[in-house]
C-alpha cells in the first residue's frame, strides 16, 4: 500500500491554491505516493474583524496547524513564509522554501477610478490595509492619504474595495497572492523602493513547508521542491527580523536582490507608526549557504540598531502591548 502524507493548510481560497501547488509538484515527483490535503481554520481566519496589529500573538495563522503537526496528524504544513513566525515551536522546522513568486506589494484601484499610482490619488483618498508595515510607509511617503483597516481573504477585500459604500479608493496587497488567485488584471501598479519608497514584508512571495524536527522521511521527500536562491534570500530576511524582534512582531520592510550569482543585496527599513521617522540600511555580501545567510541578516540588523532603529521599534512594541 502506498505511503500517505498528510498536508496541512489554512482553509482560505488562497491557502488552498498554495497547498495545491505543493501537492501538484510532489505528485509529479512521486506519482506512486499519496498526498492528502487537510484544510483548517486558524485564529486569524476565525476573527475577521480585529485589526491584525491588535493581536497579541505572532502565531496567528499557524498554531492550530502546528499542534496537529506535532501530534502526528499532519506530516507537513504549507505556509506563506511571511505568515510564519521567525521563532518556531520546539520540534518544528522549515523543511524547504520553494521558488519565490514576485515579492512586491501591489496597488489595486477601485473599479471605475482612473488613477494609476498612489501619487495620483487626491488628498484624503482612503487606502485599505491591515499591515503596520504598509500603513507606516504610506504615512511616510503619502501623508495626504488616509488609511482604513481592511480584513478578510483576498476576494472579500476586493469586494469591499469595489462596493459603492466601501469607502476605499484602493488596496495594498501582496502581488504573489493576487497572481496565484489568477487576478493579475486587477493589479494597477507594483510598488518598490525606487518609485514609491515602498518595501515588502520579510519572506513575502515565498511558500514554505514546515515539518517535524527529525522527520527525515518527509524532509528528504520535499527537498526536491527547494529553491536555493529563494531559500538563502528569505532566510537572511528572517534572520534580520529575528534579531530585532525581542518577542514582538515588528513591521520591517525589505527588498532583496541577487546582484551576482552569489552576492545578495538587501535594503531594509524601519518606519515609525506615524511615518515621521525611518531608519534605512543597505548591504551587499556573498551568501553561499544558510549559515552565511543567517549571519548576513544579523549584520543588517546590527546596522539598523547602530543607526537608531531600537527607539522606533520600542515605540512600536509599546503600542502593540497597549492595544493588543
Which residues are known catalytic residues? Answer: 83
Cβ atoms 67, 204 nearer than 8 A: no
CA 41 to chain centre: 18
**Contact yes or no for 317/246 (Cβ under 8 A):** yes
Record the cell numbers describing residue 105, joined without a space.
506589494
| Residue entry with cell 515588528 | 250
Distance CA 273, CA 37 (A): 39
Paired sense of beta strands 252-258 and 200-201, if any? antiparallel
In a 3-state reduction of DSSP, which class is residue 277? Answer: coil
**SS3 at position 7:** strand
Angle between helices 228-245 and 290-306 (to 10 degrees): 40
How many other CB atoms are there within 10 angstroms of residue 66's CB atom? 23
Residue 22 is inside which H or E element, if any? helix 13-29
What is the C-alpha end-to-end distance of the chain, expressed in Å?
A: 49
Q: How far, in Å, CA of 112 to CA of 300, rounded?
A: 42
Give, for 63, the enclosing helix (H) or strand (E).
Answer: helix 63-70
Kindly compute the dihedral angle of the four CA atoms of residues 223, 225, 228, 231, in this order, to the nearest 10 degrees.
-90
Amino acid at each position: 500500500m502506498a505511503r500517505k502524507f498528510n498536508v496541512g493548510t489554512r482553509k482560505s481560497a488562497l491557502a488552498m491554491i498554495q497547498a495545491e501547488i505543493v501537492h501538484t509538484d510532489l505528485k509529479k515527483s512521486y506519482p506512486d505516493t499519496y498526498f492528502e490535503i487537510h484544510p483548517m481554520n486558524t485564529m486569524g481566519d476565525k476573527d475577521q474583524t480585529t485589526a491584525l496589529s491588535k493581536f497579541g500573538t505572532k502565531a496567528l495563522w499557524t498554531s492550530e496547524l502546528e499542534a496537529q503537526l506535532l501530534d502526528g496528524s499532519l506530516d507537513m504544513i504549507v505556509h506563506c513564509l511571511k505568515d510564519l513566525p521567525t521563532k518556531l515551536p520546539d520540534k518544528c522546522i522549515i523543511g524547504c522554501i520553494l521558488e519565490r513568486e514576485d515579492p512586491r506589494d501591489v496597488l489595486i484601484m477601485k473599479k471605475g477610478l482612473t488613477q494609476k499610482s498612489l501619487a495620483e490619488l487626491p488628498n484624503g483618498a482612503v487606502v485599505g490595509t491591515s499591515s503596520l508595515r504598509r500603513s507606516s510607509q504610506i504615512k511616510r511617503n503619502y501623508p495626504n492619504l488616509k488609511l482604513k483597516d481592511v480584513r478578510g481573504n483576498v476576494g472579500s477585500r476586493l469586494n469591499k474595495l469595489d462596493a459603492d459604500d466601501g469607502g476605499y479608493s484602493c488596496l495594498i496587497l501582496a502581488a504573489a497572492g493576487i497572481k496565484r488567485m489568477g487576478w493579475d488584471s486587477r493589479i494597477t501598479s507594483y510598488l518598490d523602493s525606487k518609485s514609491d519608497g515602498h518595501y515588502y514584508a520579510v519572506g513575502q512571495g515565498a511558500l514554505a513547508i514546515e515539518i517535524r524536527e527529525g522527520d527525515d522521511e518527509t524532509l528528504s521527500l520535499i527537498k526536491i521542491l527547494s529553491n536555493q536562491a529563494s531559500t538563502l534570500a528569505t532566510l537572511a530576511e528572517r534572520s534580520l527580523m529575528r534579531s530585532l524582534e525581542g518577542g514582538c512582531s515588528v513591521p520591517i520592510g525589505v527588498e532583496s536582490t541577487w546582484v551576482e550569482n552569489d552576492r545578495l543585496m538587501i535594503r531594509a527599513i524601519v518606519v515609525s507608526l506615524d511615518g515621521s521617522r525611518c531608519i534605512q540600511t543597505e548591504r551587499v555580501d556573498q551568501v553561499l549557504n544558510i549559515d552565511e545567510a543567517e549571519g548576513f541578516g544579523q549584520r543588517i540588523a546590527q546596522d539598523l540598531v547602530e543607526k537608531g532603529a531600537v527607539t522606533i521599534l520600542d515605540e512600536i512594541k509599546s503600542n502593540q502591548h497597549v492595544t493588543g
